[in-house]
Structure 1
Amino acid sequence: MGALDGKVAIVTGGASGIGKAIVEAFVREGARVIVGDVDAAGIGRLIGELGHNQVDGAEVDVRDEAAVERMVGQAVRRFGRLDIAVNNAGVGGFAPIQAYPLEEWDRVVGISLTGTFLCIKHEAARMMAQGKGGSIINIASLNAIQPAEGFAAYCAAKAGVAMLTKVAALELGRHGIRVNAIGPGLIHTPATAPMTAVPGLEAAFIAETALGRAGEPEDVAGLALYLASDASSLMTGQTLYIDGGASLKKYPELFSFVGAAGSGAG
C-alpha cells in the first residue's frame, strides 16, 4: 500500500529535473498525476515511461491563468478530483542589477512567483469545492533567504513564494488545505547544468555546505512526498530548506566566476 493511494496530484514543471522526480515518486506511492509543463515532448516521454493510466499531461505556461484553470479542470475530468498540487515551475536569470533587463525580470517573476500564485488560486478553489482538504507544495529556493550576485529577480521571486506560502496557509487552513514550501539548494538538474559547468563553481557551492555535496532531484522528491502525505498532517505554512546546510554558510561570489556582465542560469 502506497502513501498516496487513491490521491490525485498536479505537478507543474513536471517533465524534467525536480518535477519529474516528484512525479515518479508520487506514482510509485499510488498517486495519479497531471504533469503540467511547456515541454510537450517531455510530457509525452514521461507518460510513456509511467503509463497513461497513472499520468496525463497538460501543456501549460503558468503565467496564463486560463491555461492554469484548464489544467486543474483536466485533473478532475481525467482522474475525478484533486488532492495534491506541487507548484514547481520556475526559471532563473543572471544579470547585475544595474543592467537587469526589465523583460527578463518580468519573465522570471512572472513564471516563478505570479505563476505560483495562479496555480494556488485555482488549486485551492478546486480543493475547497471538494470539501476534503488537500496539500499544496510550492518549490521555493535557498535563494528565498540567501542572496546571490546576479540573481535579483530569482531571489526576489523565491522570497515571494515563501511569503505567499505563509499567507495561503493562513487563509486555507480553515478549509483543511495545508500549504508548505520546499527550498532546495544546489540540485543537479538540466536547469542548473549551465551554472555547474562554469569551471570551479560547483566546487565553490559544495565548499559552502555543511554536508559537502550537492543534491539530486530524488532528495527533493522525498521531502515532497512527506509533505503530500498524511505523515505531515499537522504541518502548514512552512518552508523546509533541503540544501546540505548551505543556508548555514554563504553563497559563492558569482561575479568572480562569471563576471558582472556574464550570463548563466539560476
Structure 2
Amino acid sequence: MSTKQRLEGKVAIVTGGASGIGAESVKLFAENGASVVVADVQDELGHQLTASLAPHQVSYHHCDVRDEKQVEQTVAFAVHKYGRLDVMFSNAGIVGSMAGILDLDLNAFDKTMAVNVSGAAATIKHAARAMVAANTRGSIICTASAAGSVAGSGPHAYTTSKHALVGLVRSACGDLGAYGIRVNCVSPYAIATPLTCAALNKGADEVEAIANSSANMKGISLKATHIAEAALFLASDESVYISGHDLVVDGGFTVLNPLWLLATRFTSFLVMAVLLIWDSVKYSATIFYYYTEWTFTLVTIYFALASVVSAHGCWHNLKPEHEAEADYLRRDLEESMSSKTATFKGKETWGSMKLQSRYAEEEFLQRAGFWGYLMQIIYQICGGAVIITDIVFWCVIVPFLSIAHLKLSPLMGCMHTLNIAFLLVDTALNNLPFPWFRMAYFVLWSCAYIIFLWIARACGLSWWPYPFLELDIPWAPLWYFFLAVFHIPCYLLYVLIVRAKHKILAKLFQDAFLRP
C-alpha cells in the first residue's frame, strides 16, 4: 500500500474519542495527516490524549451527544478551528443495563437509546449540514456492533440501539448521497475497551479471555486498533464509492448460527445410527470385525456427542442475560478451541500463533471438561479414519478383492459415502482445530483395531476380514509397515481439507473475517 498519508489535509471529529476505539482512531487519523477534534465527556482523558499528540493537529472539545446543542457546537468548533469538516466518526456509546427483558428498566433503556441512537442522529445531522454548506464530499462513520446483526449477543437496550443505528445509517445514506456524502458504520465484535470492562465489572484480560473463547476467529484477539483501521478505511478516499455499508469486523461471528450446526449433527447421527442398526441386523455382529464398521461407529458416536455439545452451546446462547453474567459473549462450546483460520506470514508470527493455540486449548480443557475434549479428539480421529477407510474400500476392495465373508451391497456403498459426506458438512460448519500432533490418536485407533483382530484370532476366529492383514503371508511385515505409513497422507489430506475451508470462507466472507 502507498506510504502517502491517507487523510492528509482532512479534518475529522471523533466522538467518544478520549478512550477505547475512539482514542485509537484519533491517533491513527492524526498519524495519517488529519486534524482531529476529540469530542467526549471524559475531559481529563481527553486533555491527556491531546497533550500526547501534536497540539496544533489535535484538539479537545467537551461534548455530550445526548445534548444536540453540544453536538452542534462541537461541529462549529471544528470548522472554526480547522476551516472545514471532512470526517465525522460518531463513536460515542454506552452498553447500558445488563438486565433481562423481565427486569428491564425503561428509564435505563431510554438512556441507552439517547446516547447510541439519538446522539448518533445528532452527529450525522450537524456533520452533514457543515459538509453540505461547504460542498464537501465527506464521510460519516458510526460505531455499531455485531449485536446489530444478530440477536442474543448483547443486552436488550444495547442490541436494540445498534439495530436502530444500522437502520439510521442506511436511511441517511439515501438522503446524503445526493451531496456526495458517504454514510457507513463499522460493527465490531466484543473488545476489552474501558466501556465494556466497566459494564461487565471485569478486568481487560478477563474480558478478552471471554471474548476469545466465544470468537469464531482464533489465534488473534480483536483490539481497538483493528476497528480504528476499519474506520480509517471508511474515512479515506479508498472507500470513495462505499456508502450505506455495515463493515462487520467480527471474525465471522455473526455469519455462523449454532442451530445449523446442531441440526446437521443431529440429522447425521440419526441417519448413521439407523444405517448401523440395519447393517448389524442384516449381517450380525460379525460386521464389527471390519475396520469400516469401527470407523462408521466412531463417526456415529462423534455426531451423538457433538449433538449434545451443540445443544448445550445453544442453550447457553439462548439463556437470559441475568442467568449468566457474560453469557451473551458465548456461542457453541467447541468454539473455545484453537483454530488457524487466517493466513499467517513470517516465522515469528507463526511461533506466536502456536503459543496462543496452546493456551487456548488449555483454556478449552478447563471450560469444556472431559466430554468436550473427547469430542475434539474423536473428530480428529474420524477425519483420518474416514479417508483411509474410503480409499481402501473404493480403490482396493471394490475393484481388486473378492470378499468371501461379506458380499458387497448398496448398503455398504451408502455407508462408505455418507460417513465422509456428513463429516465434511460438519467440518464446513464447525470451528474445530485439526493439529498435526493429533494424528497420534488416529494411529492408536488403528492399532487398537489390529490388536482386537489379533486377540480375536487367538480366541478362535478362523478368517481375516482383510486378506492383506494375514500374519502368515510372506509380505505381512511389509504390508503392516505400509499401512502404518499410509496413515500420514490420509491424515494430511484431511488437514488440507480443513485449511482449504478456511481459505475459501475467508474469500467468501471478506468483511467478516479478521486478518492479522
**In terms of mean alpha carbon deviation, does 50-59 or 228-237 score higher?**
50-59
How far off its partner does 1:265 sit?
Answer: 11
Question: Given the alignment of the two structures, is residue 96 of structure 1 paired with residue 100 of structure 2, yes or no?
Answer: yes
CA RMSD after TM alignment = 2.6
SS in 2 for 1:191: helix
Task: State which of 85, 89, 105 in structure 1 corresponds to 2:88.
Answer: 85
2:322 alignment partner in structure 1: 259
* Shift in Å, 1:239: 0.3
Which structure 2 residues correspond to residues 101-116 of structure 1 after superposition, within 5 A? 101-116=105-120
Aligned residue for 1:192, secondary structure, equals helix
Match of 1:69 in 2: 72
Q: Is the partner of 1:105 in helix, strand or coil?
A: helix
Greater share of residues in helix: 2
Counterparts of 1:4-23 in structure 2 under 5 Å? 4-23=7-26
List per-residue Cα deviations over 1:219-251 (Å, max 9, x = no partner): 001111110000110100000100122113359
Give the conservation status (yes or no) of the 8 Å contact 1:85–1:136: yes
Fraction of identical pairs, as percent? 36
Q: 158, 177, 182: which is aligned to 1:154? A: 158
Distance in structure 2 (CA, Å) of the matches to 1:156 and 1:257:
15
> Which of 121, 139, 142 is the aligned partner of 2:143?
139
Q: CA deviation at 1:197?
A: 3.0
Correspondence for 1:121 among 117, 125, 140: 125
Question: Does the CA-based 8 Å contact 2:95-2:196 persist in structure 1?
Answer: no
Aligned length: 266
1:246/1:188 Cα in 2 relative to 1: closer, same or farther (>3 Å)?
same
Letter in 1 for 2:180: G
Separation (CA, whole Å) in 2 of partners of 1:247 and 1:6: 36
Unaligned segments of structure 2, at least 5 residues: 259-312, 330-516
Q: Distance between the aligned counterparts of 2:78 and 2:207, measured in 1? A: 40
1:217 corresponds in structure 2 to 224
Q: Tell me which stretches of 4 or more aligned residues in structure 1 moved more than 6 Å.
A: 198-201, 254-258, 263-266
Give the counterpart letter for 1:211 in structure 2: M
Q: C-alpha distance in 1, partners of 2:110/2:23?
A: 26
Q: CA 1:9 to 1:202, structure 2 compared with 1: closer, same or farther past 3 Å?
A: closer
After superposition, the Cα gap between the structure-2 partners of 1:48 and 1:250, relative to the gap in structure 1 and judged at 3 Å, is farther
Q: Residues of 1 paired with 2:326 and 2:252: CA distance?
A: 26
Question: CA shift at 1:207, angstroms?
Answer: 3.7
Aligned letter for 1:188? A
2:214 to 202, 208, 213: 208
Q: Which moved more, 1:110-119 or 1:247-256?
A: 247-256
Q: CA deviation at 1:177?
A: 0.2
CA contact (8 A) 1:60 1:67 kept: yes
Deviations 1:20-77 (A, max 9, x none): 0000000000000011100000110011111220111111110101100000000011
Distance in 1, matches of 2:255 and 2:209, equals: 17
Instruction: Give the superposition deviation at 1:209.
Output: 2.6
Greater relative contact order structure (CA < 8 Å, 6+ sep): 1
Corresponding residue of 2:29: 26
**Which has the larger share of strand?**
1
Matched residues in 2 for 1:102 and 1:189: separation? 25
8 Å CA contact 1:134–1:177 kept in 2: the answer is: yes
Structure 2 counterpart SS, 1:131:
coil
Identify if the C-alpha distance between structure 1 residues 166 and 49 changes in structure 2 by more than 3 Å, giving closer, same or farther.
same
Alignment of 1:50 with 2:53, yes or no, is: yes
Q: In the aligned structure 2, how far is the partner of 1:200 from the partner of 1:171?
A: 42
Which one is further off, 39-48 or 141-150?
A: 141-150
**2:168 matched residue in structure 1:** 164
TM-score, normalised by the number of residues in structure 2 = 0.49
Cα deviations across residues 125-152 of structure 1 (Å, max 9, x unaligned)? 0100011210000100000012226611
Greater CA drift, 208-217 or 244-253 = 244-253
- Compare CA radii of gyration and give the structure with the larger one: 2
* Secondary structure in structure 2 of the residue aligned to 1:211: coil
User: Relative to 1, partners in 2 of residues 1:103 and 1:257: Cα closer, same or farther, differing over 3 Å?
Assistant: closer
Kept in 2: contact 1:95–1:263 (CA 8 A): no
SS in 2 for 1:231: helix
Residues 182 and 244 in structure 2, CA contact (< 8 A), matched pair in contact too: yes
Deviation at 1:203, TM superposition (A): 4.6
Q: Is residue 236 of structure 2 the alignment partner of residue 233 of structure 1?
A: no
CA contact (8 A) 2:85 2:130 kept: yes
Question: How far apart, CA to CA, are the structure 2 residues paired with 1:208 and 1:83?
Answer: 37
Query: Is this contact kept in 1: 2:13–2:38, CA < 8 A?
Result: yes
Alpha-carbon distance, 1:264 to partner: 11
